[in-house]
Structure 1
Amino acid sequence: MSYLNKDQQVWDEILQLIKEQGIAYLTHLDERPTSSKKEVALLSDLDENGLGAIATLKQFNERFEPVIVASSGPRYWGFVTGGTTPAAIAGDWLAAIYDQNTQSAKGNGDVSALIELETIQLLLSLFNLPKDFFGGFVTGATLSNFTCLAVARQWIGKQSGKDFAKDGISGSIKVLTATPHSSAVKSLGMLGMGSANIIPVNVLTGNREAIDLEDLKLKIAALNGEPFILISSAGTVNTVDFDDFEAIDQLKAKYNFWWHIDAAFGGFAACSPTYKHLVKGWENADSITVDCHKWLNVPYESAVFFVKEQHQLLQMETFQNANAAYLGNPLANFSYLNFLPENSRRLKALPAWFTLTSYGKMGYQELIEKNVETALLFADFITTNPNFELLAPVRLNTVCFTLIDENLVSDFLDRLNSTGKVFMTPTFYNGKKGIRAAFVNWRTTADDIVIATEEMEKIVKDLVK
């Protein structure tokens, strides 16, 4: 009997072992190191007959599990990495068990597609966005930006009577932006629009990363009425700066452009009455990117795109499956197959549906505001310790700082991360080497700030002797 058949007879034992291991990990997550320097020898040959699930779990636990770091834990403050709520984990486990290929709202996969459509509505409600956005789930901000900008590319072509999705790109497409995330720049390259076609817009003076509107107006005027794409930011990476969406909306009334907002994590400001002013006016954009595996705290890989429903035909032209003719009118016979890049998709919406339904608007308001409070608490430590300085004001959930002696930054960060108590990432801002700490995990508390800052004080004292 093959191991596949044997494993089928011991489902309960396999899942019980995984359950116990999962509970142990989650229970002791705050004790697990945030980094590891242990090396793992990799195998190159596959066993002829396999080991079976239980023996394979044993090998995994011997070779890999001890090296897995607490990136989903409360003191992993690098890369804007979120955690996973209990409800999101439940949804993710069920998504794996049911193993749906989420496509059609009619016929095969109809329930999973309906769950996704409902989850998009719940997210629009969470963000207080109007219902005239259409959306879906993709793997992350890169593919969300890709999806939105692909539809923007098709819109640009239509302005001059061209079908770029069918006939290819001819001529250059102008893209205006000030501080685009690397995923947006990467998407421009993958879409054949070329990062070299970006027309950089100045940022505001006074320690800002937001668009200088006067310079934007000059850049627009220089295009002499040519349609273009504007990529704006709801939360830049280093300092969580926001563009002035109300002012951009006024420009959109005068000029012909596609307005895309990268709101990968900054869009969650909309969940809080205290911070929702930061995204005022974003509801008038043509498309928006939001990462769910950041501040929504669902497992990787999860992001959504929102594209105004008025652009659905453009979106369908961009992504229509080559074999979609038998479906009839893709708008009448809806399938996600014709509205986003992937043909094969797991039920990514289910973890998001579980966590949104479980904790509601107030739960996410509390999560966002608690993270901002811990960010401000950490910033207080930076400003009161004579060895550190803030590189920018704390606008939301990310603290960008450096050491007074900039030459010590790399050594300091290496030593700090090697403690395994906390993890942060390096950056470069306003001509200075810096460090970023991003707070997006539902588990993070003031106690974690104490643990991290105590380590920081020890290290910096040793370095400045």
Structure 2
Amino acid sequence: MNKLLQTDLLELDSLLEKVKKQGVDYLHTIDDRSTSSNENIPDVLALNTKGIGARETLQLFNERFEPILVSSGGPRFWGYVIGGSTPASIMGDWLATIYDQNPQAINGQGDISANIELETIKLILDLFELPESFVGGFVTGATMSNFTCLAVARQWIGKTYGKDFAKEGITEKINILTASPHSSAIKSLALLGIGSNTIIKVKTIEGNREAIAIDDLEAQIKKLNGQPFILISSAGTVNSVDFDNFTAIKSLKEKYNFWWHTDAAFGGFAACSNTYKHFLKDWDYSDSITLDCHKWLNVPYESAVFLVKEEHKLLQTESFQNSNAPYLGDPLENFNYFNFLPENSRRLKALPAWFSLRAYGKEGYATIVENSIDLAMYFGSKIEKSADFKLLVPVRLNNIVFNLKSNQNQDKIDTFLTQLNATGKVFMTPTFYNNEKGIRASFVNWRTTKKDVDLVFDEINRIISLI
């Protein structure tokens, strides 16, 4: 054995204890940690020949990179819709690394940790009050979840033409209807060979809305003259968190032949709350659904779920099966995640979600969701009453999109946001809404409190007075 490896193995207890202490110290001070980095990025070091061992490597990390890491899991990091990690999910994530499983098979004598994933999917279906007619699994994020669902939809389109697109390639036009898709769905269309510029854009409801105008949707459907198509609907658009009318879409699905995919990356979590779950009425009639766990589920980053109706299981295996691996057996008789999603190699990313769901249950997640929405509403009301800021869209759920009120100040919005983020007290992102520049704040972190909102509001008023 390499001497450095042998030394590190002998000192493993103290090494992990040192990392644990550093991690705990970070989590205990995360409220005060900067939300943005003003440090210079260090030059790249060449790989050393003999190595320096784990202890000195930790020291090198702390000298070079630790200072540039921001509190993205903290209570005032309001960019990118990033949730923080709950204590239980951190436990699950550490154990996922330690046990280092390959969650694919559910039977046999080898690794059968995929049973944890199957149970976690059932917990998620229960949390969202979705039927067990969905087959689900964990992928890296909303992009891969959308990709997985739309790959099955692509195969469905092929079968309506009597073709196998997974084996033969795409030989027919695939019609995509949508109104306000997330960029990850558009990216998935590019990756799938369908094309990111081929969508048929459906009008949105008038009156500062991002949701599908059902009348125009049906008009676009009729223009297809019976051709099959894929509908991408939204359960929470990226800016205004608007929801499509799923009951109306359900009625259309009874009349027309199409695959219905719902992107519910973070808006789907409204189902956790009795107050807001009406937004999702009839979404369970979708053929496939995207959910993002590292958003409102508040688990460590790189975690999302795809859900596809079990009736499409054959299409899913045709899309993803490892056909040159006969030892896997019949994919429909011998379930293995190898044959149901894109990646062959995955970590046990279901375990952090399992820990957090078991630890906090339905009531815990209802509290997280409703607290986030209450704080968004609170911040929105302060913006509305402000002399210097204006809301660009009413607060529907957990996002705020606002701008500088005075027309003379519109050219200052970039400077304002740069200076605000540079304070390190809050991080927000730029956006566009109705062709107007704006600033977006997303509330999904379980740590965020009213005190954080007050602090940020004081800070934006201080910054606006300086520019």
Same fold (TM over 0.5): yes
* Structure 1 residues 285-300: aligned runs within 5 Å: 285-300=286-301
Partner of 2:250: 249
SS in 2 for 1:175: strand
Q: CA-to-partner distance for each residue in 1:331-367, whole Å, 9 max, x for gaps?
A: 1111000000000010010000000000000000000
SS in 2 for 1:30: coil
Matched, 1:427 2:431: yes
CA distance in 1, matches of 2:235, 2:221: 21
Structure 1 outlier segments of 4+, above 3 Å: 108-111
Partner of 2:23: 22
Indicate the RMSD between aligned Cα atoms, in angstroms: 0.9
SS in 2 for 1:90: helix
Matched, 1:449 2:450: no
* Structure 1 residues 41-80: aligned runs within 5 Å: 41-80=42-81
Question: CA contact under 8 A between 2:430 and 2:438: conserved in structure 1?
Answer: yes
Question: CA contact under 8 A between 1:103 and 1:335: conserved in structure 2?
Answer: yes
Partner of 1:458: 462
Matched, 1:186 2:187: yes
CA distance in 2, matches of 1:151, 1:402: 40
Q: CA-to-partner distance for each residue in 1:23-43, whole Å, 9 max, x for gaps?
A: 100000000000012112232
SS in 1 for 2:260: strand
CA distance in 2, matches of 1:406, 1:168: 48
* Structure 1 residues 342-381: aligned runs within 5 Å: 342-381=343-382
CA distance in 2, matches of 1:127, 1:230: 22
What residue identity is the alignment partner of 1:432?
E
Q: CA-to-partner distance for each residue in 1:194-213, whole Å, 9 max, x for gaps?
A: 12220000111100000000
Q: CA-to-partner distance for each residue in 1:209-242, whole Å, 9 max, x for gaps?
A: 0000011011000000000000000000010000
What residue identity is the alignment partner of 2:189?
L
Partner of 1:84: 85
Partner of 1:438: 442
What residue identity is the alignment partner of 2:279?
L
Q: How far apart are residue 108 of structure 1 and its match?
A: 5.2
SS in 1 for 2:149: helix
Partner of 2:338: 337
Question: CA contact under 8 A between 1:103 and 1:109: conserved in structure 2?
Answer: no
Q: CA-to-partner distance for each residue in 1:347-392, whole Å, 9 max, x for gaps?
A: 0100000000000000000000000111111111101111100000
Pairing partner for 2:413 from 395, 409, 412:
409
CA distance in 2, matches of 1:196, 1:449: 39
CA distance in 2, matches of 1:202, 1:408: 31
Q: Name the TM-score, length of structure 2 as normaliser.
A: 0.98
CA distance in 1, matches of 2:319, 2:112: 25
CA distance in 1, matches of 2:75, 2:109: 40
CA distance in 1, matches of 2:10, 2:249: 61
Q: CA-to-partner distance for each residue in 1:60-79, whole Å, 9 max, x for gaps?
A: 01111111000110000001
CA distance in 2, matches of 1:109, 1:430: 54
Q: CA-to-partner distance for each residue in 1:414-458, whole Å, 9 max, x for gaps?
A: 110000000000011112110000000000000101111111111
- Give the gaps of 5 or more residues in structure 1: none
Question: CA contact under 8 A between 2:155 and 2:319: conserved in structure 1?
Answer: yes
CA distance in 1, matches of 2:163, 2:312: 16
CA distance in 2, matches of 1:42, 1:381: 43
CA distance in 2, matches of 1:245, 1:293: 25
Question: CA contact under 8 A between 1:85 and 1:298: conserved in structure 2?
Answer: yes
Q: Name the TM-score, length of structure 1 as normaliser.
A: 0.98
Matched, 1:149 2:150: yes
* Structure 1 residues 127-206: aligned runs within 5 Å: 127-206=128-207
Q: How far apart are residue 112 of structure 1 and its match?
A: 1.3
Q: How far apart are residue 252 of structure 1 and its match?
A: 0.2
Partner of 2:271: 270
Question: CA contact under 8 A between 2:102 and 2:111: conserved in structure 1?
Answer: no
Partner of 1:327: 328
What residue identity is the alignment partner of 1:91?
G
What residue identity is the alignment partner of 1:211?
I
Q: CA-to-partner distance for each residue in 1:86-137, whole Å, 9 max, x for gaps?
A: 0000000000000011111112554410000000000000000011000000
What residue identity is the alignment partner of 2:425?
K
SS in 1 for 2:465: helix
CA distance in 2, matches of 1:282, 1:359: 25
Q: How far apart are residue 298 of structure 1 and its match?
A: 0.3
What residue identity is the alignment partner of 2:454?
V
Matched, 1:118 2:119: yes
Question: CA contact under 8 A between 2:101 and 2:111: conserved in structure 1?
Answer: no
Q: CA-to-partner distance for each residue in 1:162-195, whole Å, 9 max, x for gaps?
A: 0000010012100000011000000000000112
Calculate percent identity across the aligned residue pairs: 62
Question: CA contact under 8 A between 2:104 and 2:112: conserved in structure 1?
Answer: no
Paired residues, number: 463
What residue identity is the alignment partner of 1:435?
I
Mean CA deviation greater in 326-335 or 389-398? 326-335
